[in-house]
Structure 1
């Protein structure tokens, strides 16, 4: 039972990373993608210019999973630090470090660490290079609704997967019109499941340790280390 719970945590962490890559992809790849909606592209270009001016980004977020039919309502909090092609993600008690070459998944509850190399040819692999090709194919997008959220004007861009086998009906990317920062990301599944990632805090150019994205095995003397490669 314990292993099943932990495996669920690992899977949720993987899903979180993919959502962040989706956000980053929407920012960085918008400059080279062919416009399907001129206004949507103009807004993404503004977000791109803003984000590219930052040396680092630190985000605190809330993650919600809802399905009315299944009576599922789950909320979790986490944070991620990103700089260039590296990141550290903390979510559901699991820490995931990507140093640009390898990923380190640290699970304190089980005193276990999984180390794996990135296979660029694996379609499901989470790699920084895929941040720049995420939207190359597979989505149609256009401007959606403009909402007032606690005094903030949030403009949504709707992305619809072109693959009929994709379990997602649509993805909504919310952008703060004033700051040009990502406010939230909403995925709506074909079976009624909705996941929402909301940015609670968006800090930039924060002082980071030179070892921020370095895995130090000496910090985990009693941990079992599982090297997959």
Structure 2
């Protein structure tokens, strides 16, 4: 579970950093459009699939998840993991261990959040270029290839597919140096879902016997 959580956070981290001045201006134009479009959503909710493959393309594992956002609040679920944040406090709940870790949120704006996954995901640390268009699952997608400038990263390429018509991220695929690959694919995106503020707060009463680790 801790490994899966680390990969999830790491994927968010990769997607909130991207370009240098030598990156493809056409790719930047597309990414700018995705960011601007997402910022018009009041309370987006997305379902996704997380998949791991080996170097031969064999699927090693696959999990479904979801993420809900409203302002600076968010709620992520994937397997036995749930992450809640009301913008001030975050709760990471491990169902298998029935344990929740509580942390304060970095209000400086530098903290990693799902919101940044869909908006400020191309600011620095990567070179990127547009590889062209293709058809995937009946959608016209634009593939943007990202190469990390920091060669110590465990991966050497990231391929992001943009749904051209919707101006939104369709998937992100990470190629590790050891040959393994993992990807996140958005299976459904609702721009303005009905989300109660209480859904972004961990309610201890709903988790009998939960162990609370408060790191604030």
- Fold shared, TM-score > 0.5 on shorter chain: yes
Aligned to 2:33: 46
Once the two structures are TM-superposed, the CA of residue 155 in structure 1 deviates from its matched residue by 0.5
Within the candidate set 92, 97, 100, 1:110 is matched to 97
Q: Structure 1 154/52 Cα, relative in aligned 2: closer, same or farther at 3 Å?
A: same
Matched, 1:144 2:144: no
Aligned to 1:126: 112
- How many residues get paired? 214
Matched, 1:16 2:8: yes
Once the two structures are TM-superposed, the CA of residue 69 in structure 1 deviates from its matched residue by 6.0
Q: Structure 1 218/80 Cα, relative in aligned 2: closer, same or farther at 3 Å?
A: same
SS of 2:156's equivalent in the other structure is strand
| 1:157-211 deviation line (CA, Å, top 9, x unaligned) | 1111001111111111100111111100011111101111111111110111121
Aligned to 1:5: none
Within the candidate set 37, 55, 62, 2:49 is matched to 62
CA distance, structure 2, for counterparts of residue 197 and residue 47 of structure 1? 17
Q: Structure 1 205/22 Cα, relative in aligned 2: closer, same or farther at 3 Å?
A: farther
SS of 2:199's equivalent in the other structure is coil
CA distance, structure 1, for counterparts of residue 116 and residue 137 of structure 2? 34
Aligned to 1:88: 75
Aligned to 1:4: none
> Which consecutive unaligned segments of at least 5 residues does structure 1 have?
1-8
Q: Structure 1 184/71 Cα, relative in aligned 2: closer, same or farther at 3 Å?
A: closer
CA distance, structure 1, for counterparts of residue 5 and residue 94 of structure 2? 11
Tell me: higher relative CO, structure 1 or 2? Use CA pairs within 8 A at least 6 residues apart: 2
Q: Structure 1 17/86 Cα, relative in aligned 2: closer, same or farther at 3 Å?
A: farther
SS of 1:15's equivalent in the other structure is helix
Q: Structure 1 169/152 Cα, relative in aligned 2: closer, same or farther at 3 Å?
A: same
8 A Cα contact 1:118 1:127, kept in partner: no
CA distance, structure 2, for counterparts of residue 20 and residue 119 of structure 1? 16
Higher helix fraction (1 or 2): 1
